Amino acid sequence: MNVSIPLVVLLAIVMLVAVRFLKLRMWMALVCTVFGFLLAATALAPDINRALRALLSWLTGS
Positions of the chain with pLDDT lower than 50, given as ranges: none
In the prediction, which pLDDT does 2 show?
61
The answer to whether 48 and 39 are in contact (CB under 8 A) is yes
In the prediction, which pLDDT does 58 show?
92
- Note if the pTM is more than 0.95: no
In the prediction, which pLDDT does 9 show?
82
